Amino acid sequence: MSRPDGVAWHTFDGTRSLATRGKPVYGEQTDGEWRRWDPHRSKLGATFEKGLETGLRNGDSVLYLGAANGTTVSHVADFAGPTYAVEFAPRPARDLVAVARTRDRLFPLLKDARTPETYAHVVESELDAIVQDVATRGQARVANENRRFLADDGRLIAAIKARSEDVTREPPAVFEEVLESLTAEYEVLETERLEPYHDDHLAVVARPL
C-alpha cells in the first residue's frame, strides 16, 4: 500500500494501527507524539486500512469536503500542506475551528460543498487532492463541481454513502449510478467497500479527465 510518509503503522496498547504525529483530539489513543487513526471513526482512515492507492503524499495541498468536527481532517493536516476543510453544519464547524487552532495548515470554512463558488475566492487552484466525505444526495455532483480546484494530475479520494443517496435501493445499484456520474469529470482508478469499518460505503480513488 502506498501512503504518505506521515502516516505510519504504530502499536497502541498492543494493537497495531495507523497513526500520525500531531496534537490529539477527542480522547483518541496516543503514544508519545503518535495519535491513533481509528478507521471506525474515519472513512479515509478505513480507506488506508483497506490498502487503496490514494496517491496522497506529505505536503500535498488538500480540499476536504465534509469535514464535520475535524477528526479525520486533523490527521490529514498532520502530514499534508495547506488543508481547506469545508463543513456546512454550524455545530460541528465550531468544533472544527477549535481543532484548527492548533494546526496552522488547517483552514476551516463554514460553507456548503454543493456550492463551491462560495469558497472559490479562498481555496487555491491546482490542488493535489480532494477528499470527500459528505452525507448528502448528489455526491457525484459535489465531486464533479469541485473538480475545478484539482490539478490535472491530482486525485479524488471519496467515501460514497449509499444511504445518503437513496435509502430504498440496494447499495451496489447506488454505487454503480454514482460511479457512472463521476465519469463526467474523472477516471475511476480503484474502488473498495469499507466494511467492516463503515457499512454501505464505497471508497473511490479517481483522477480528473
For residue 113, say whether it is annotated as part of any ligand binding site: yes
For residue 87, say whether it is annotated as part of any ligand binding site: yes
Residues 6+ apart with CB under 8 A from 188: 179, 182, 204, 205, 206
Q: Distances from the Cα of 15 to the Cαs of 28, 76, 80, 108, 120, in angstroms?
A: 14, 22, 25, 32, 42
For residue 191, say whether it is annotated as part of any ligand binding site: no
Cα distance between residue 149 and residue 143, in whole Å: 10
For residue 133, say whether it is annotated as part of any ligand binding site: yes
112 HSE (CA, 13 A, CB side):
8
For residue 176, say whether it is annotated as part of any ligand binding site: no
For residue 112, say whether it is annotated as part of any ligand binding site: yes
For residue 47, say whether it is annotated as part of any ligand binding site: no
Helix (H, G, I), strand (E, B) or coil at 122: coil
For residue 88, say whether it is annotated as part of any ligand binding site: yes
Which residues define the annotated binding site for S-adenosyl-L-methionine?
71-72, 87-88, 112-113, 133-136
Which residues define the annotated binding site?
71-72, 87-88, 112-113, 133-136
